[in-house]
Structure formats: C-alpha cells, structure tokens
C-alpha cells in the first residue's frame, strides 16, 4: 500500500471516529465531561463480555477500514480517561465478565 493510500485510510478512519463521538454527544458517559474540559481525548471502553479486536484509537492510527472501526466502536462506551480507569477497576471488584480478545 502506498504512503498516500495509507494516509487516506487513516483520515477516513479518523473521520469515522469523530462522527461516532459527535453522534454520542461528545461527552463521557459517566461524568459528562468533554475533552475540552478534561484536556484528554475520550476513550472507547469495551463493555464486559464483548470480543475485542483492538483498541479503537490504535485501529484508527493504523488506518483500519471504516466498517471494522464502526463495528469496534459499537461494542464500546465513551468515557474520559479517569472514568475508563475507574470502571475497569470496579469491574474486577464486581467480577464482571471479561472482555474477550481475538
């Protein structure tokens, strides 16, 4: 794949992620803060019991296909970084079903 094609794929992936974040209101599911308020990008948090193909942010930076990224985002909730970390710890305490990896 040429460098130009790769850059184009990455740009499409980035646009798909931005559209999904906007569709969800651009805020953390838990605290309602925006990236402007926290100074950090929102993170896609895989729900317990889902099958994780990859981190959404990494898939975007790798320029994976838009349908693959959309399928991955559909398994996730949108959280700020601190709430993503907190909910992860709470799931361990609660014995929530793990995120499965392929």
In angstroms, give the least distance from the CB of 34 to Zn ion: 10
Only one of the segments 14-22, 24-32, 44-52, 93-101 lies at the binding site for Zn ion (rule: CB under 5 A); that segment is 24-32
Give yes or no for residue 85 binding Zn ion (CB under 5 A): no
49: nearest Cα among 9, 17, 80, 94: 94
31 near Zn ion, judged by CB under 5 A: yes
How would you class 29 by CB atoms within 10 Å of its CB: exposed for 0-12, middle for 13-18, buried for 19 or more? middle
Instruction: Give the C-alpha separation, 97 to 51, whole Å.
Output: 11
Is residue 69 part of the contact set for Zn ion (CB under 5 A)?
no
**Interface positions with Zn ion (CB under 5 A):** 28, 30-31, 80, 83
């Amino acid at each position: 794949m040429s460098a130009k094609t790769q850059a184009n794929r990455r740009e499409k992936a980035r646009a798909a992620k931005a559209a999904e974040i906007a569709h969800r209101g651009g805020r953390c599911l838990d605290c309602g803060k925006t990236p402007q308020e926290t100074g950090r990008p929102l993170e896609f948090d895989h729900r317990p019991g889902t099958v994780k193909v990859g981190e959404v942010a990494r898939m975007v930076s790798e320029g994976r296909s838009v349908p693959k990224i959309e399928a991955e985002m559909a398994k996730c909730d949108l959280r700020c970084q601190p709430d993503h970390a907190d909910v992860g710890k709470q799931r361990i305490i609660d014995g929530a079903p793990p995120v499965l990896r392929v």
